[in-house]
Amino acid sequence: MRDLLIENCSLVIWIIVAIEAILGVSLAAAYKKDRRPIIICMILVDFGLLVDALLINLGGFFDGGLPEPVSRLRFILHGMLIPLLFPICGYSLKLKRKVMSVIWALTAVVMVLGLAEGMSITLELIQIGDVVRHNSADSSPAWAETIRSFLSFGTVIPLIIVGIAVWIKQKTPTLFLSGFLMFIFAALGPATGNLDLLFVITMIGEVLMILFFMLYVRSIAKWEK
């Protein structure tokens, strides 16, 4: 399975890019019908993940990969858009405006930290299969790596917890599965000893996260009737 994934890594990522584009269009269509801010938040998250996957795959078309400033855009977008999972949690719980204002303020702080992390990490060029991409090097500042780890797991865990609450109240597991599957796939690389493939394994989790969020959006209207 590992060898198969390495041999077809670029193809898998192109499929992921296509699916994320379709999901983005579907979310935009859903927002056109029902203008909820929670949908806008996930559209932005999907956009960031789509750009990330696209830039990773484009690196293989250039000798020496993409220019470092272009690759750094991936990390900046990740740091600034993934924190939107926090207000997504708040909107899912239908929190009051004052509470949401606090959540948005905290989200803004995390976004700034994510921007700082994306600007400060040291990038190194690595290749696996036919994919050439920049990755965070071991020489990156420790504080930046801490923020990066928090963005990877600290944003998903609240989504899982809120997903359980929504499951109990609204009788739909879709939001829980959105966070849970993202968490599982993010942990799958280290757990199986495939750290070099973590980036593509995590992408599969990201697609599932957006897909199940899309299903959650569709269930909202049914629950409110």
Taking only the tens place, the pLDDT of each residue in 144-172 is 999 998 998 899 999 999 999 999 998 89
Radius of gyration of the chain (CA): 17
Continuous segment of H or E residues that includes residue 14: helix 9-33
Number of domains into which the chain is organized: 1
**Does residue 163 form part of some domain?**
yes
Domain assignment of residue 158, yes or no: yes
The answer to whether residue 225 sits within a structural domain is: no
CATH number at residue 206: 1.20.1070.10
Residue 197 has pLDDT above 60, yes or no: yes
Task: State the average pLDDT over residues 63-74.
Answer: 90
Q: How far is Cα 11 from Cα 13, in angstroms, rounded to an integer?
A: 5
Interaxial angle between packed helices 9-33 and 37-58, expressed in degrees from 0 to 180 and rounded to the nearest 10: 160
Task: Please report whether residue 224 resides in a domain.
Answer: no
Nearest to 84 by CA among 53, 111, 118, 52: 111
Element (H, E) at 207: helix 198-224
Backbone φ and ψ of 94, nearest 5°: 55, 45
Contacts of 130 (CB under 8 A, 6+ apart): 9, 10, 60
Alpha helix stretches (DSSP H) within 82-197: 85-92, 97-120, 142-149, 156-170, 174-192
Closest CA to 131 of 76, 65, 194: 65
Per-residue pLDDT at 177 exceeds 90: yes
Q: How far is CA 169 from CA 46, 107, 166, 223, in A?
A: 26, 25, 5, 10
Measured in residues, the chain has a length of: 225
| Distance from C-alpha of 203 to C-alpha of 12, rounded to nearest angstrom | 10
Question: In the structure encoding, which two tokens stand for residue 124, read together?
Answer: 């190194």
Asked if the structure places residue 51 within a domain, the reply is yes
- Number of alpha helices (DSSP H) and beta strands (DSSP E) in the chain: 10, 2
Task: Using CB atoms within 10 Å of the CB of residue 155, give its burial: 0 to 12 exposed, 13 to 18 middle, 19+ buried.
Answer: buried
- Entry pTM: 0.92
In terms of residue numbers, what domain contains 51? 2-219
How confident is the model over 69-112, as pLDDT tens digits? 999 999 999 999 999 999 999 999 999 999 999 999 999 999 99
Q: Are 202 and 184 in contact (CB under 8 A)?
A: no
